[in-house]
Structure 1
Amino acid sequence: MLTVHHLGKSQSERIVWLCEELAIPYELKIYNRDPVTRLGPPEYKALHPLGTAPIISDGDIVLAESTAIMEYIIAKHGSGGLVPAATDATFPDYLFWFHFANGSLQPNLGRSMLLGRVELPADNPTLKWSSARLDLVLNLVETRLGETDYLAGNAFTAADIVTVFSFTTMRIFMPFDLSPYPNILAYLQRIGARDAYRRAMKKGDPDMTPMLT
């Protein structure tokens, strides 16, 4: 049985959502964060040498890293669903946006979060560079979502699943204003209307209202 080890309010919501979209059977085990450190409990960290969310187990296999887990589930349990065929015109866009989420979007948000915590002066060169880089990344997404309903095109794909966390739950840890990005906000409303997304969030984090605005 595929087991999703879900650390509350974390990237592992992506995996719960993926399983719901693919309608595959899975067991969900929920772990709560330490109320002081906000880190995962020891039993979660013991699952994998990295100790970071997400983590799945499938028989003797224990796997970490969001995109690795998603590719594994799609290939082994999902019959290749939520991925355009290699012959489809949208396939290159799918590949770009699927890897953009953890390759560009989330690292830039994470860097800004860390720099914000050290209270650097506004004219600090590193802070200014980081801010400009984040603006570039966010504006790239905003422009894309003004052209298509979803990131790979007008069809929903796994690229959307891996991306949405950065615009929603990550804002618990790094608040940032999305009002300058109306296309992103409209996109989040489309996501929030999906039954599978609603089920996943209710199962994984029933005490949290998804940050879709």
Structure 2
Amino acid sequence: MTKVHHLEQSRSHRVLWLLEELGQPYELVPYARDGKTLLAPAALRAVHPLGKSPVLEDNGRVVAESGAIIEYLLERYDTGGTLGPAGGDEDERLRYRYWLHYAEGSAMPPMVMALVFARIRSAPMPFFARPIARRIADGAMKGFVGPQIARHLAHMEAALAERPWFAGERFTAADIQMSFPVEAGLARSDGDHPRLAAFLERIHARPAWQRAVDRGGPVLVAG
């Protein structure tokens, strides 16, 4: 049986969603975040040394990292090639590979930094340190993190001006992988990104996405 170690409100939602799209049965092992720190519990370290989610157990193998898990599941269970790139279209294959790795390699770091600085602003500390911490957090957000998020959102928005899905004309696992940075980016942006908003509407309407939410809970961490 395929087993998913799933942290609530996290990127591991994508693994549940992919399994639902594939129609592959799986056992869900849920973990709750710490109420104060929002960090994963120490119990996850018994599954993987870094104590992070998602982690997949399948046929005696333990696979970590969202992109690696997606590639593994497609190789093993997507026998019809329905969620990979079109076989004869090299441009689509390259776009597919790019967005599959861009999601975590480039898009997510500034999103995580935004979450960290938001936590710094609200963290308990001596009253005399609070203005300093907030100035540092606000300066970092205004001078670097915020502009980086805006640049990535513009890049993603432009990609969807050329085609309905990130890799091409059809929905693929690259869209599953990209879903979290799009969710996180739009949640932290005041800008207008109609194509990304429409992308979220389309994926939220997919029955497999809805089943994954029913089983694993909401997607985003507040903050």
Superposition TM-score, scaled by structure 1 size: 0.85
List runs of 5+ in structure 1 lacking aligned partners: none
Does residue 134 in structure 1 map to residue 156 in structure 2? no
> Could you say which structure has the larger radius of gyration?
2
Mapping 1:125-164, distance limit 5 Å = 127-164=142-179
SS in 2 for 1:63: strand
State the Cα distance separating 1:123 from its structure 2 match.
9.0
Higher helix share: 2
Q: Is the Cα–Cα contact under 8 Å of residues 54 and 65 in structure 2 kept in the other structure?
A: yes
Offset from partner CA, 1:145-193 (integer Å, 9 cap, x none): 122211111211111111112233x47xx95135511111111101111
Paired with 1:66 and 1:72, the residues of 2 have a C-alpha distance of 10
Q: CA RMSD in A?
A: 2.6
Residue 59 (structure 2) aligns with = 59
User: Residue 90 of structure 1: which of 89, 92, 95 is its match?
Assistant: 92
Higher deviation after alignment, 75-84 or 133-142: 75-84
One-letter identity of the residue aligned with 1:155? R
Paired with 1:209 and 1:57, the residues of 2 have a C-alpha distance of 21
Higher deviation after alignment, 17-26 or 33-42: 33-42
Paired with 2:61 and 2:50, the residues of 1 have a C-alpha distance of 15
SS in 2 for 1:4: strand
Paired with 1:42 and 1:4, the residues of 2 have a C-alpha distance of 17
SS in 2 for 1:129: helix
Offset from partner CA, 1:103-133 (integer Å, 9 cap, x none): 1110122233334535346995785233333
Residue 102 (structure 1) aligns with = 104
Paired with 1:122 and 1:56, the residues of 2 have a C-alpha distance of 35
Offset from partner CA, 1:133-152 (integer Å, 9 cap, x none): 32221101011112221111
Q: Is the Cα–Cα contact under 8 Å of residues 18 and 161 in structure 1 kept in the other structure?
A: yes
Paired with 2:140 and 2:26, the residues of 1 have a C-alpha distance of 47
Paired with 2:196 and 2:161, the residues of 1 have a C-alpha distance of 8
List runs of 5+ in structure 2 lacking aligned partners: 121-132
Aligned length: 206
Offset from partner CA, 1:13-71 (integer Å, 9 cap, x none): 01000101111122122222222332222322321001101111113211211101111
Mapping 1:179-190, distance limit 5 Å = 179-190=191-202
Query: Structure 1 residues 33, 143: CA separation in 2 closer, same or farther (over 3 Å shift)?
Result: same
One-letter identity of the residue aligned with 2:18? L
Query: Structure 1 residues 34, 113: CA separation in 2 closer, same or farther (over 3 Å shift)?
Result: closer
